[in-house]
Structure 1
Amino acid sequence: MSNDEIISLQRQRVAIEQELCQARYQVKPLAASVCPLTWDGLMCWPETPAGTQAILPCASYIDVFDKNETATRDCTINGTWFISPTTNESWTDYTRCHPNNYSVNPPINEHLPHIKLISKIGYSVSLLTLIIAFLILFCNKRLQCPRNHLHLQLFLSFISRSLLTHVKNIFFTLEYNSTLSCKLIIVVWQYSLLANYNWLLMEGLYLHNLVFFNIFNDNSSILKYIILGWSLPVLFIIPWIIARSLYEDTFCWVINKNVALFWIIRGPITISIILNLIFFINITRVLFLKMFSSSSVAQASRCYKYSKWFKSTLVLVPLFGVHYALLLIANWLASLSTSLEIIWLYVDQLFTSFQGFFVALLYCFLNGEVQQEMKKWWLRQASQQDGLHSSNSMTYNSILTQSMSYLNRGRNDGTNGNGSGARKESTRTTSILLNTKDEPNHMYPALISTDLSPSSDPGNGNCLYVNDRPGSFGTLLRPESMERCLDKTQKGGFNESSESIL
């Protein structure tokens, strides 16, 4: 007899026992100060006086139970069955009924801490890289296009999934119960899980439509994809909430005893994986035929454009399609042996937790368009820094020129005065700003200041040579005429043999 047949017979026997228990409940009136007759899902418990414990042999129709042991159920002094704070329902102690080998395999317990550590590291790395990738695509206007807008939505779904996974794990570390806040976190986490798989499907659908209906034209509106991507999970999460509230309001909605309720969430996820796999196979088949069907120049150019664009897009299809399909098969194989189950747990957590990192890497950091825009942005920032430095140097040099003008004015006043008290000739200062450019050794002959008096010799002017070298401010040249100053400046004839003022 196969395992499926054994399980089927056990379910039939349990159903028969449940009907017998309900029949006993209908014919017997309820006495005072006793816990009522009840069916706990496996065994029928008789009426029990308040403040006592009911003890029954382990059910013989459950194959995994030890028939020589007993199960217990507590009746409180209030005449009600004991309610477990973790399950939020009446609780039966079946601990003794389980044989020693019925518990979780010890080898798996040894690997669980390592598997959880991989999950934490993977989701943390994914969260960090996804946030950086999102900011790069969102803040750079040159990268704003329908295709990248779709990628941003995918990034958001991965960010929410990674963040809520951390929140869920922290929450259950601190408190594991069936409070409303706990259930709310699970609901939001389940929604993020559905939305993430759904957005992977939207990426595959968008790529499929581009190939078959509007190839090489990604300027179409993505509003319909955005609406479907975030609203479609609601159609499944609401029925799941209602079903859990009515039929399995236990364990903060993280334990799935009812298979039908489990498939309300798992069903759409499995369907999206299968659809993406179909998209991948169909797209690769058609693209192969298009790329090699003709050798004409137009087709060659088209194939080149096609290949260039799909380097950053098509590579994700096997990532979220084929690998999930392989994990579905591996999940079935994991039940064959403990070793396969351990391997599957490692592989599943590794791909699942690091998938957001792979998405950010492929869609953003390794994308040629993004890399070019980041290089341009870096060059613009460096250019702005150089411009700011030059502006600051020019401002300082202007101040230095004015200071030297006052020094020269004082010198001319002392030279032109006479002993008879004759009127001194007035002086004026002229500053000339030249069109500068980079010279060897970073010297910029930028400003020339000269003092000119109406009756003085033009050769009495002073030229100020501005040196932009770090640690040097300027050099006061020997008196020369304005024309010679300009001539030397234009010819680059200034030298550093002049007198230093600093």
Structure 2
Amino acid sequence: MYWIAVLTLTPMIVSYTWADLDIYRGKLCRSHLGYHENVQDFRQYSCAWCFRFVFHLKYRPLVNSTGPTPVVYIFHNGGRVRFESMDFRNQSVKADVCDVLTSDECHQWTSCCESAERCCQRQLSVEKKGTNSSCGRVWDGWLCWDDAEPGTRSYGSCPLFMPFFTPSRQAFRTCQTNGEWITRTDYNPCIKKEELETTLFIGLGCSIASLVALVPALLIFLKYRSLRKQHRIRLHINLFLSFLLKEVMDILWDMLVTYDKVTSTTVFETTLMQNGVGCKLLSFLKIYFKCCTYTWMFCEGFYLHRLMSNAFSPPRSLKVMYVFGWAAPLLSSTLYGILRGVLNNESCWTFSYERLEWIFDAPNVLFLFLNLVFLSNILRILLTQMQTHPNEPGNFRRAVKATFILIPLFGIHRFFTLYRIPISQEGGHEYEKVSVIISHTQGLFVSMIFCFLNGEVISNIKRSIRHGRSRSLSTSKRLNQTDQQTLSIRSEYDVGKNGDQCYKSLIVPTEGKDEMELKEKSTNGSLLHNGPHGET
């Protein structure tokens, strides 16, 4: 009897041991219901629950998971509809399910199923991290969650197949200290679209303010030859132009893509979900001009640092900077665009993919750190000059003023936005609004400081105003002289008309002849009449 029991229980123990080992090694796909024996089983259950979670308000679906395959019941047109299978890869099953849905709803359901399938593939391909006490990878019905350590919180971008959800918002799921996930994922940050609209309008207002300042600043620099022939002004022109183009791209993206996704009730008719060529081109230009701002800020810092450290040999030409300022961002942006188009060409590249964004983010961060080094060395030079002339009044004030002036020009304030606090954390919304203001008002501040408050610009504008006034005065004098001459001519004409130096010819009838020429001439007030017989 003992041997019989051993032989009976051993296969069961071995099977459970191998199952536990497969679970630990990540060889089984896991949903919120638990682990699934194979990919097909996971697909059936994940699609059934996708239907349940996506349409829980409209169709009130019920899922029966007691059988070998889940069965879904919905209420449609006053009756109950039953689906025996939810395998979206089966075309007949997909046609039956989508027959009761609208085209947009069908896309929502299949997109959720595809996300679940990708999550299963990810669970099978990625090695397990942590220990057995950590929270395991899981598909919760909308999002895929990786392994997490106990007592931590994980964040995931809101799913785009849901109405009003955008990738800039994040849901979160908490791993408890006992190594178990909290039952429900918190999707509240995804559904608060009013907060996102507020942030969008704040960014829009700041971008418009920057454009209002940048456009006249560029026109002023280009108008005056005495300004545009200076190297530093030429650098300012390129920097201002990069800011202007960046703000234009941001406005177009926020209004045409993000705001459209936030306000549209049809998910897959939005610009973001249609994933057209125009949307991806706009995404590429947005990335490119953003990188251009960092490159030109670096050019400004490099040029000023060279002037301060070696004032007797300033650069004679800026051709190298022109090429570097516009071509270097083009290389990194183009490389990123090619890789995204090949590896993950979805959703207008709004989601981060395998940290590819470091292709252009790494140079941007490097430029910021180099500008910080330049600023520190410039301050060192200024402080050294202060020590050389300790009795010179106002040295310290000038050094502090130079520091605050150069911060927006070098982009030092952007260090504040390098690390993004998750929107779901405490203070996340406030940080988001502050970072939006910092990002979109840099053009406003640099145009105010380096153009409208610049002494050379002010003197040129005043000179133009004086020239304009003098031209208007000379024009008015010429008009007055012309008017006086016209009045003088008219008065002389009027006097002659009254008998002073005036000749008239009149034809009057007479008795002896058909006509008689009467000539009158005014000379010293006397009139001479020549009659028909020459009598006087």
TM-score (ref. length: structure 1): 0.63
Offset from partner CA, 1:378-427 (integer Å, 9 cap, x none): 111111112221212212221211122223334434461435559xxxxx
Return the offset for 1:199: 0.9
Q: Which residue of 2 aligns with 1:190?
A: 287
Q: Which residue of 2 aligns with 1:152?
A: 237
1:382 counterpart = 2:478: no
Return the match for 2:253 from 145, 153, 168.
168
Q: Which residue of 1 aligns with 2:218?
A: 134
**C-alpha spacing 1:254/1:57, structure 2 compared with 1 (3 Å):** closer
Q: Which residue of 1 aligns with 2:45?
A: 55
Give % identity.
Answer: 23
**C-alpha spacing 1:324/1:14, structure 2 compared with 1 (3 Å):** farther
Return the offset for 1:238: 2.0
CA distance in 2, matches of 1:327, 1:340: 14
1:121 counterpart = 2:144: no
Q: Which residue of 2 aligns with 1:91?
A: 114
Give, as a single letter, the amino acid of the residue that structure 2 aligns with 1:195.
C
CA distance in 1, matches of 2:384, 2:376: 13
**Contact 1:190-1:237 at 8 Å conserved across structures:** yes
**Contact 1:274-1:321 at 8 Å conserved across structures:** no
Unpaired runs of 5+ in structure 2?
1-20, 30-34, 50-63, 73-85, 99-105, 117-138, 144-182, 261-269, 502-521, 531-536
Give, as a single letter, the amino acid of the residue that structure 2 aligns with 1:316.
L
Q: Which residue of 1 aligns with 2:329?
A: 233
CA distance in 1, matches of 2:111, 2:197: 28
Return the match for 1:339 from 398, 413, 426.
426
CA distance in 1, matches of 2:469, 2:340: 58
CA distance in 1, matches of 2:441, 2:372: 20
Q: Which residue of 2 aligns with 1:272?
A: 367
**C-alpha spacing 1:53/1:341, structure 2 compared with 1 (3 Å):** closer
Return the offset for 1:89: 11
Answer with 315-324 or 189-198: which moved more.
Answer: 315-324
Which secondary structure does the structure 1 equivalent of 2:45 belong to? strand
Map residues 489-500 of structure 1 onto 2, 5 A cutoff.
none
**C-alpha spacing 1:235/1:220, structure 2 compared with 1 (3 Å):** same
**Contact 2:372-2:412 at 8 Å conserved across structures:** yes
CA distance in 2, matches of 1:236, 1:371: 39
1:262 counterpart = 2:276: no
1:112 counterpart = 2:208: no
Offset from partner CA, 1:146-171 (integer Å, 9 cap, x none): 11011000011001100011111232
Return the match for 1:362 from 449, 453, 457.
449
Return the offset for 1:219: 6.8
Offset from partner CA, 1:432-486 (integer Å, 9 cap, x none): xxxxxxxxxxxxxxxxxxxxxxxxxxxxxxxxxxxxxxxxxxxxxxxxxxxxxxx
Give, as a single letter, the amino acid of the residue that structure 2 aligns with 1:134.
L
**Contact 2:202-2:436 at 8 Å conserved across structures:** yes
Map residues 238-249 of structure 1 onto 2, 5 A cutoff.
238-249=334-345
**C-alpha spacing 1:13/1:361, structure 2 compared with 1 (3 Å):** farther
Return the offset for 1:322: 3.0
Give, as a single letter, the amino acid of the residue that structure 2 aligns with 1:232.
A
Give, as a single letter, the amino acid of the residue that structure 1 aligns with 2:205.
I
CA distance in 1, matches of 2:350, 2:435: 19
**Contact 1:183-1:252 at 8 Å conserved across structures:** yes
**C-alpha spacing 1:166/1:13, structure 2 compared with 1 (3 Å):** farther
Offset from partner CA, 1:165-190 (integer Å, 9 cap, x none): 11112321252221122111111111
Q: Which residue of 1 aligns with 2:175?
A: none
Which secondary structure does the structure 2 equivalent of 1:255 belong to? coil
Q: How many residues align?
A: 368
Q: Which residue of 2 aligns with 1:467?
A: none
CA distance in 1, matches of 2:411, 2:23: 40
Return the offset for 1:142: 2.1
Return the offset for 1:363: 1.1
Return the offset for 1:206: 1.0
Answer with 334-343 or 345-354: which moved more.
Answer: 334-343
**Contact 1:88-1:250 at 8 Å conserved across structures:** no
Which secondary structure does the structure 2 equivalent of 1:54 belong to? helix
Q: Which residue of 2 aligns with 1:283?
A: 378
**Contact 2:407-2:413 at 8 Å conserved across structures:** no
CA distance in 1, matches of 2:110, 2:404: 46
TM-score (ref. length: structure 2): 0.59
Return the offset for 1:307: 5.5
CA distance in 1, matches of 2:23, 2:283: 31
Return the match for 1:328 from 418, 421, 428.
418
Return the offset for 1:117: 1.4
**C-alpha spacing 1:170/1:327, structure 2 compared with 1 (3 Å):** closer
Return the match for 2:500 from 412, 421, 426.
412
**C-alpha spacing 1:272/1:382, structure 2 compared with 1 (3 Å):** same
Give, as a single letter, the amino acid of the residue that structure 2 aligns with 1:347.
V
Return the offset for 1:316: 2.8
**C-alpha spacing 1:238/1:405, structure 2 compared with 1 (3 Å):** same
CA distance in 2, matches of 1:45, 1:104: 32
**Contact 2:253-2:283 at 8 Å conserved across structures:** yes
**Contact 1:146-1:222 at 8 Å conserved across structures:** yes
Offset from partner CA, 1:23-43 (integer Å, 9 cap, x none): xxxxxxxxxxxxxxxxxxx99
Return the offset for 1:213: 2.2
Return the offset for 1:338: 2.3
**Contact 1:134-1:155 at 8 Å conserved across structures:** yes
CA distance in 1, matches of 2:376, 2:327: 27
**Contact 2:379-2:403 at 8 Å conserved across structures:** no
Return the match for 1:224 from 278, 299, 320.
320
CA distance in 2, matches of 1:249, 1:15: 33
